[in-house]
Structure 1
Amino acid sequence: MSDQIKFIVDNLNKEPFRKNYNLITFDSLEPMQLLQVLNDVLAEIDPKQVVDIREEMPEQTTKRMLSLLGILKYKPPGNATDMSTFRQGLVIGSKPVIYPVLHWLLQRTNELKKRAYLARFLIKLEVPSEFLQDETVADTNKQYEELMEAFKTLHKECEQLKTSGFSTAEIRRDISAMEEEKDQLIKRVERLKKRVETVQNHQRMLKIARQLRVEKEREEFLAQQKQEQKNQLFHAVQRLQRVQNQLKSMRHAAADAKPESLMKRLEEEIKFNSYMVTEKFPKELESKKKELHFLQKVVSEPAMGHSDLLELESKINEINTQINQLIEKKMMRNEPIEGKLSLYRQQASIISRKKEAKAEELQEAKEKLANLEREVSVKTNQTREFDGTEVLKGDEFKRYVSKLRSKSTVFKKKHQIIAEFKAEFGLLQRTEELLKQRHENIQHQLVKKLNSLVSEKKSALAPVIKELRQLRQKCQELTQECDEKKSQYDSCAAGLESNRSKLEQEVRGLREECLQEESRYHYTNCMIKNLEIQLRRATDEMKAYVSSDQQEKRKAIREQYTKNIAEQENLGKKLREKQKAVRESHGPNMKQAKMWRDFEQLMECKKQCFLKQQSQTPMGQVIQEGGEDRLVL
């Protein structure tokens, strides 16, 4: 499980996630944060999954993740009962469920990206058979399947072209060259045929030559196959040796595999690598760049003669004399602060040189160790081949390793002492050179004065140096105590964080149960109140029905319903009588209505005739109407 978490953390800290987790911070993530990490990994595989799960319902999140995992063909461990456990664990963000999913996704991210991309176009839609009875739906489904097959073939061709590494221009050039070679070969074959036709039994000889060519090709193919098998055998042997070396190193590391030693080893490696990356390599790179710039400058300049070299030497001598004069002036000044700074600068330079020397020694030792391991593997293989003896194992190997470790520690100490002596020797040699140069250029009186000043400075710096030594020792003790307290704090914080997450989950579950019980309690109270009201109404009804008082009986619901029923029956009786009267008078009424409609039509006809006659009579004519004369204007 720890290897799985380490693999997940390492991959999440790389591109494109860049989470900056360690084992403790990742293991202390809350369920919602862990689900967000899983969603980020799924979003890297399928960009459609870019969602903030805080803005999404848990059911939707689970459904979306399960559908994508189904498309990616993820199989959770276990049987059908574990599938329900897997779904529940995915909903609540359980670590035993999400850690294997993350491990599986991060192992094959590129493959899953391709699968998710293809799933958008290759997931077949299941159309029910009753819908396929329709011709339009059937034709559309058939066209959809044909397009899917066409996409498969095109995608395969595209992948083959991507992996082939040929361009269209190169292919065209190759085709043209092959066509030219073909033409030349055809001409050559025709010339040879003409020559061979004059020879006796040329058909039999051509047949034998053809068989010879086939056998030669077969021989070349078998030789090539044999060489490939030799190469495969050689690679397999090398792979076996590497695996054996890895197994030995892992067994050796497992012999003292304690968390403290592993953490200490990792911290040392991290410090060494950070020093190499941040200090040593940039300095070397800068020096190489300067050297390259200087060499380019030298190359770009024209060739120098003997006179030019003499002129440069004279300039160098002048600059050296100026430097010496400036040093003398600086020494003549009485600047105690600059003296202190020079002392600290000198110590810092010594420490930096020691650090660089140690880094180079460590790098050389690593390279030497790698070379020795390779030589050991070669020697062990040779001994196994010649006399069949095995290397040391078990307790003998451990004793041999312990001896080597003791010798290596002694060697390191001696080498360190030698390096310190070399550094001090170089410093003293440089100091001697400077003093000799100053002695040649400075007068005796000045030397006495400088000696008195140096003695005064030494006497003044002596208590400061003593105090500094005490403070350094105290600083080392405090840093050690701080590291111990920090490790205790980290372990305690990790334990408290895990306990807090467990307690939060328990509190969340208890709150949900409390809310459910409260809703159930309120629902039960409402039902009880409804039942009490119904029971009260039933008791009131019984009292009113049993009571001897007529007014109370009238208040009863049964009496009211009986009264309403009687009223409705009387109303229905009246309506039936009215319906009977309407049926009896329907015929005469319809006849009378018909007579009125006929009368209305007759009157309308007379009106139209009158209007027509009036429009035809000239103005000022007298007409008779109803036995009377009337003037039409």
Structure 2
Amino acid sequence: MSEDIKFIVTELNKLFGRNYNLISFDALNSEDLLQILSDVLSEIEQPGGSRIDVRTETPEQSSVRIFSALRILKYQPNSDPVIFRQGLVRGDAEPIYAVLKWLLSNMQLARQRAYLARFLVKVEIPLEHLGDSEMAALYEQYSRLVEEFKMVHKEREAGKKGGEAAAELKADLEAMEKEREVVLGRVEKMKLRAEPALHLLEAARKLRVERDKERELIVQKEQQQDTMVKLQVSLQRAERELQTLKQMGAGLTSQALIQRLSEEVMVQSAVTKERLPSELAAKKAHVKALTTVVKSAHLGPDEIVALRNRLDIAAREVQALAENKAVAGVADKMAPFRQQAAAIAGMKRNALDKLERAEAAMTDLKVKLEEKREEARRLAEEPAPRGDELKRYVARLKTKSALYKRRRAELAGLRAENGVLNRTLLILEAQLAKLKPTDDAMPVRSATVLPDDCTVENAATINAQLSRNISAFRAQLAPLLNELRPLRQKFQELEERYIAAYRSYSSIETSMESSMNNLLNEVNLLRENVKKDTDEIERLRQEIATLKLAQDRIQEEIRVRNIFFYTHYASPGGGPTLRDELNEMIQVEEKKSKLLKDDEKSLKERAIESENQTQQWNNLIAIFECKLQCAEDSKKRDGVIVRGQGAETLILQ
């Protein structure tokens, strides 16, 4: 920071011809710093022009003018833009120093940008004024002139660069010619010296060729070793896959394979014969409906209402037909069997749907499992560092460890030094506090307390004596002040070093903690994903086993039904069939539903009765409260009449 301030002070003295130094510049207040920044911007925009006094402007006007100039000059703050704007408006030293350093360091660039901004920043004209034809023509001419200025400026800059480039090329050519002559002279001298030993040059050339071949052979050997390692890894992977396939086929028999294939053929046949035709018919119906909609003309509101009425009439007709069919089907003996067949077909469709979803989920899980295996295989195939590479890696680790230890030792030393300096500062402040009362008391005593023999004649002598005493005290105080100044400066420098080291340490510690946290979170996330995938696989396996059992039982029931359909509907062992169990469960649930509906109906009736009774009681309570209120009002207005022994007495309240 002190170097930046020195640079700023030096450049300001050169630019404005002032005599700033570090102490006087550091003592400037916020208004003076803003004035200097405004002067620098004015000098950049108009060299030698008039300058604006910030005291004649409001803070808002000064802020807008400075921010507009910095935006034109394309200044980018190093800190948060909001904090930078607030600090610049307040006149803080840190943002103003940063702006001054950038402006004074890039003076030529800033002047060029300010010069171009005078011609390239377009004047904003409201849209309502551009509606005028003359104004629009003038604005178009103005835009055209701006574009012409851009082209002319580009050609001028290209011409300047071309002239400079030509001059540089000419100078380079002259220098290269001189170097060429010197090199040719050296080559001639070397040839004269090397003529007796030309055979040595040929031997050196052959040696160089052989060494190049040796390096190429070493590189080829390393490549072949890497290829061999990769092939060994691939061979191990193939052996593991072969071992896995052998283990999978160890318990596989022809009967199990035939049974598995028959089950798969059965499932695929059911899907082909029952599911796919229904889905195809539904798709065709949907396509037919969409085609009809596309071909039909646009329907108005009246036509839509008419179609809805027709749809309602058709729905009522369908419902009437269904009721007639239900009434006429009492004598139909095959109705229960049709219902049971429809229920079994529905269960079969549900089982096929569940099977399809389970297969899709299993396919996704297999894909994820293959991805995980491929990732694990890729990580396992990455070769570990060996030989020279391992040595270089260990050397880098040692270097980083040594650097870390050295920086940690420096940080510990800076902390200790900071503690010592803080203690020194406290001691010096205490000593300074002790010296200040004596320094303050001296002039008070000389001003208020006078010697007893002080007269007009010897006043000059006493005054001279007091001046000598003051000089002596100042001479005693000067060494202390001289010692205090370097200590303060040293303290400031050490404090800056400590702050910089502490920031570096904090940034390193934060980056290490963030990287560790990221790694831990990633490991935990991967573990959770693996656990979830394992649980999902286990759950799907259980569901598949359950579905297989249900499918086997359904197939057995269908087989029994086909055998005994025309004789009797019973299981071979005489026990209840799955259909009987399902019918019994359906009847039990229907009974429960009927009982629950009756309970609900009775509860609604009781709730209505309770509400009526509650309303009656509330009405009675309101009537009694009204009577009591009327009695109280009558008492207050007319009093109380007491009758007794054939007489009436009126008691006023």
With normalisation by structure 2, the TM-score equals: 0.24
Larger RCO (CA within 8 A; separation ≥ 6):
1
With normalisation by structure 1, the TM-score equals: 0.24
